[in-house]
């Protein structure tokens, strides 16, 4: 029985369809005895196998994608994560991230699960990502997908594309909410607040800060009868440092973020923010 001859044209055709490397395509066609469809299946199964093997890897690199739509009343933000900065700069990786973002906006996707079921080039995004994992050899995943609705949304993405913020503003009036949102987004990216305002702080975080304040007072030898008062002062400082509206505005230290927004339009405020970061913090 003669060996199947694998033509360069078939290898190139398979490469164009799947995006796999030339040698991988040639090997798949040989395994499939020249059957083109079977070779496609072999390459896709290889992607699934690689994906499974790398499932426990951390995706500490990648790109943040964000956009607003519906007259800036809706927005989505997420990161497409990978393992190395080299892949984060790969054209195909960036292209599928942009396609995911466009699909999320066009289809009003409200979760990563819904997004990954959407079709791209005749197959689901989940299948396309698995194929890309097989080709590149790294774990790739959608990270921290968030959908936000509000009066007016704006966003900020840091120059390294690894930190992005989506901000929902209320009572914007005639103010330039895009500029305000970018300024506040930059603040959030840099200062990483835990909540919008005091009342939004998680109770467990507040309790931890109180206990830290008490422990610090006792370490300094303060009398027990004033420990609680000192701890409350510690918490007030925490609010100022760690809640967005009470933070010192990074572009004007004389103002808090609340005061900055109020100066643009009386009562203007932030209702929600989503911060996505691929940077170790």
pLDDT in tens, 121-176: 888 999 899 888 888 888 899 999 999 999 999 999 999 999 999 999 999 999 99
| Higher pLDDT, residue 92 or 19 | 92
**Which CATH code for domain 55-149?**
3.30.479.20
Q: What are the angstrom distances between the C-alpha of 80 and each of 33, 59, 274?
A: 36, 9, 16
CATH 1.10.8.10 fits 8-53, yes or no: yes
Do the first three CATH levels of 8-53 and 55-149 match, i.e. the same topology?
no
Indicate whether 52 pLDDT > 60: no
Confidence at 1, pLDDT banded by 50, 70, 90: very low
pLDDT digits (tens, 9 = 90+) for 248-280: 999 999 999 999 999 999 999 999 999 999 987
What number of other Cβ atoms are within 10 A of residue 40's Cβ?
A: 19
Calculate the alpha carbon distances from 265 to 179, 207, 252 in Å. 13, 35, 17
Question: Which two three-digit tokens encode residue 161?
Answer: 């594309």
Please check whether residue 64 is in contact with residue 163, taking contact to mean a CB–CB distance below 8 angstroms: yes
Could you give the CA distance from residue 7 to residue 25 in angstroms, rounded to a whole number?
11
Domain boundaries, the chain: 8-53, 55-149
- Three-class SS string for 223-273? CHHHHHHHHHHHHHHHHHHHEHHHCECCCCCCCEHHHHHHHHCCCCEEEEE
Please give the pLDDT value at position 51.
47
pLDDT band at 206 (very low <50, low <70, confident <90, very high): confident
For tokens 């090997």, name the residue.
27
Q: What is the mean pLDDT of residues 233-237?
A: 86
User: What's the token pair of residue 195?
Assistant: 């909540």
N- to C-terminal Cα separation, the chain: 62
């Amino acid at each position: 029985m003669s060996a199947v001859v694998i033509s360069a044209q078939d290898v190139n055709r398979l490469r164009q369809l799947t995006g796999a490397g030339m040698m991988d395509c040639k090997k798949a066609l040989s395994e499939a005895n020249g059957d083109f469809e079977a070779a496609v299946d072999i390459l896709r199964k290889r992607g699934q196998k690689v994906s499974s093997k790398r499932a426990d890897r951390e995706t500490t690199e990648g790109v943040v994608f964000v956009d607003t739509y519906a007259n800036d009343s809706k927005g989505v933000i997420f990161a497409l994560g990978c393992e190395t900065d080299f892949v984060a700069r790969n054209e195909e990786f960036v292209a599928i991230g942009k396609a995911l973002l466009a699909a999320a906006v066009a289809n009003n996707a409200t979760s990563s699960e819904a997004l990954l079921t959407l079709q791209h080039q005749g197959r689901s995004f989940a299948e396309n990502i698995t194929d890309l994992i097989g080709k590149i050899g790294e774990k790739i995943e959608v990270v921290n997908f968030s959908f936000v609705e509000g009066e007016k949304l704006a966003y900020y993405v840091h120059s390294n594309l690894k930190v992005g913020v989506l901000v929902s503003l209320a009572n914007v009036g005639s103010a330039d909410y895009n500029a305000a949102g970018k300024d506040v987004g930059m603040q959030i990216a840099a200062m990483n607040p835990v909540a919008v305002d005091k009342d939004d702080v998680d109770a467990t975080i507040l309790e931890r800060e109180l206990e830290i304040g008490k422990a610090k007072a006792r370490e300094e030898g303060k009398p027990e009868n004033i420990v609680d008062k000192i701890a409350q002062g510690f918490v007030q400082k925490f609010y100022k440092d760690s809640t967005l509206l009470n933070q010192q505005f990074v572009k004007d230290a004389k103002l808090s973020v609340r005061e900055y927004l109020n100066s643009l339009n009386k009562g203007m405020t932030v209702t929600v923010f989503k911060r996505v970061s691929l940077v170790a913090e």
